[in-house]
Amino acid sequence: MQNVNGTAVPHPLVVGVNKQRLWLMVGLAPVAWGVAYFFLGRIELIILGICVIIAVIYGLKEAIWGDSKVTIDSQGVTDSRLGLGTARWRDIRNVYVKELHNVPHVCLEVASTDQYLRDRSTATRGLLKFHQKTQGIPAFNINTGVLEIGAGEIYHAIMANWEYYRRIEK
């Protein structure tokens, strides 16, 4: 399909969570805690145990009932796992891929991050800003570790849509 200028209209992309990877992570988390038992002290084990419990509960909820997805369409980019809404094409300033702990993240720098974060709690806003300063990952980032397709395909779909819809909006 082509528009008036002869430029191909990019197709929307909807990417779901890879349930097999998610189940694997849920299963390995308690095993990792069990191995850590031999190497960590009591306080560290308690803290790690709490984190593992939270991660397993979230993973089970997502694996059983979750409908999380990344959507790239004419409106912008939405990662339903983030709860930040849709990053509109006109607001996106930069797109790049960065690895954090051996997991590729597709990062979106938006013009007015505070606008997207205003409905989040003060603690969440603070944590996201702290995370950005310490890890160099913006609030809008797509963790591709458990998605059905890789960071490269998501990055290219975002770039194709971004270039197309930025031209239309001008």
Same domain for 128 and 160, yes or no, is yes
Same domain for 83 and 141, yes or no, is yes
* pLDDT (tens digit per residue) in 81-134: 777 888 899 999 999 999 988 889 999 998 887 787 887 888 888 888 888 888
Same domain for 85 and 142, yes or no, is yes
Same domain for 136 and 161, yes or no, is yes
Same domain for 58 and 74, yes or no, is no
Name the pLDDT band for 3 (thresholds 50, 70, 90). Answer: low
Instruction: Provide the phi-psi class of 102: left if phi over 0, else alpha when psi is between -120 and 50, else beta.
Output: left
Same domain for 42 and 92, yes or no, is no
Instruction: Provide the phi-psi class of 83: left if phi over 0, else alpha when psi is between -120 and 50, else beta.
Output: left
Same domain for 121 and 156, yes or no, is yes
In a domain, 8, yes or no: no
In a domain, 87, yes or no: yes
Structure confidence at residue 96 (pLDDT): 94
Domain with 33, as residue range(s), is: 18-65
**pLDDT of 4 higher than 50:** no
Average pLDDT for 29-53? 88
Of 65, 90, 125, the residue that ends a domain is 65
Of 33, 65, 97, the residue that ends a domain is 65
Burial degree of 110 (CB within 10 A; 0-12, 13-18, 19+): buried
* pLDDT (tens digit per residue) in 145-160: 888 888 999 999 999 9
Domain count, the chain: 2
In a domain, 9, yes or no: no
Strand partners, 72: 13, 77
Same domain for 105 and 135, yes or no, is yes
Of 49, 65, 81, the residue that ends a domain is 65
Average pLDDT for 43-70? 82
Biggest CA–CA distance in the chain, Å, is 66
